[in-house]
Amino acid sequence: MTKELFVSAMAKFFLGLALVALLLFLPAGTLRYWNGWLLIALLFAPMFAAGLVMMVKAPELLKKRLNAKEKEMEQKQVVALSGLMFLAAFVLAGLNFRFGWITMPRWLVWAAAAVFLLAYALYAEVLRENAYLSRTIEVQEGQKVVDTGLYGFVRHPMYAATLFLFLSMPLVLGSPISFAILLLYIPIIVKRIRNEEAVLEEGLEGYAEYERRVKYRLFPGIW
């Protein structure tokens, strides 16, 4: 761990926290938006803990996760679309609370919170299994195909975890309107996966053979 990595990680963490809080509470018009506080706790407490663990035990992985600058033009489009999607979903969640457009039962909010935490645990397991998990699409020096653990069932377990994370998030916020918007994540992630696999097939030795062995990308028996 270096001082530069620590400062970069802390800066991005608190910047992300401040941005999410702003996007939720400003449209809500109040700090009493309890769903917003619930999401912030669910999202940032495990993130902070995981960041500290990676900072000590896997600083190189943390460095890769902090780098979000895509090289592929198609992936730049995916990142831009995802950013717009989350911007709209968070703002509308706050507005939904402010004006009481649609009220969700609390049991559904807590059920979504449970799904969110389970998906977070799945995401953490994927990080443990794959030391090459950069946030950008690239073939790294010395990279090898990971085909153990969850990667023996589907080719992209990280994206499967993020799908559950992102679709449970608007329900934690109590906003069915935001849930409808975040359904757009499905075609966005399909686009990202297809481009990522094209890059890996071309640049990562053994990946094409791995695709033949593990046929499903996200969910066994589905896709």
How many Cβ atoms are within 10 Å of 119's Cβ, its own excluded? 20
Count CA atoms closer than 13 A to 55's CA, side-chain side.
Answer: 16
Mean pLDDT score, 49-60: 78
Band the pLDDT of 131: cuts 50, 70, 90: confident
Mean pLDDT score, 174-199: 93
Sign for the CA dihedral angle at 71, 73, 75, 79 comes to positive
Summarised one tens digit per residue, pLDDT across range 73-101 is 666 777 888 899 999 999 999 999 999 99
Chain mean position to CA 154: 17
Asked if residues 185 and 86 have their Cβ atoms less than 8 Å apart, the reply is: no
List, in order of start, the domains of the chain with CATH numbers.
3-213 (1.20.120.1630)
- Rounded Cα–Cα distance for residues 12 and 29 (Å): 25
In this predicted structure, what is the pLDDT of residue 139? 66
Residue 180 CA: distances (Å) to CA of 106, 107, 162, 175: 19, 19, 16, 9
Asked if residues 10 and 47 have their Cβ atoms less than 8 Å apart, the reply is: no
Mean pLDDT score, 155-171: 95
Residues 6 or more apart whose Cβ sits within 8 Å of residue 96 = 102, 173, 174, 175, 177, 178
Band the pLDDT of 54: cuts 50, 70, 90: confident
Summarised one tens digit per residue, pLDDT across range 187-211 is 999 988 998 899 889 888 899 999 9
Band the pLDDT of 178: cuts 50, 70, 90: very high
Summarised one tens digit per residue, pLDDT across range 12-26 is 899 999 999 999 999
Average pLDDT over the chain reads 88
- Rounded Cα–Cα distance for residues 17 and 193 (Å): 27
Burial of 99 by CB count in 10 Å (0-12 exposed, 13-18 middle, 19+ buried)? Answer: exposed
In this predicted structure, what is the pLDDT of residue 71? 62
Mean pLDDT score, 103-121: 96
Stated pTM of the model? 0.88
Helix intervals (H) in 58-175: 59-66, 73-99, 106-129, 157-172
Burial of 169 by CB count in 10 Å (0-12 exposed, 13-18 middle, 19+ buried)? Answer: buried
In this predicted structure, what is the pLDDT of residue 158? 92
Mean pLDDT score, 147-158: 92
Asked if residues 180 and 81 have their Cβ atoms less than 8 Å apart, the reply is: no
In this predicted structure, what is the pLDDT of residue 66? 67
In this predicted structure, what is the pLDDT of residue 124? 87
Band the pLDDT of 34: cuts 50, 70, 90: very high
**Does the pLDDT at position 59 exceed 60?**
yes
Mean pLDDT score, 173-198: 93
How many Cβ atoms are within 10 Å of 173's Cβ, its own excluded? 28
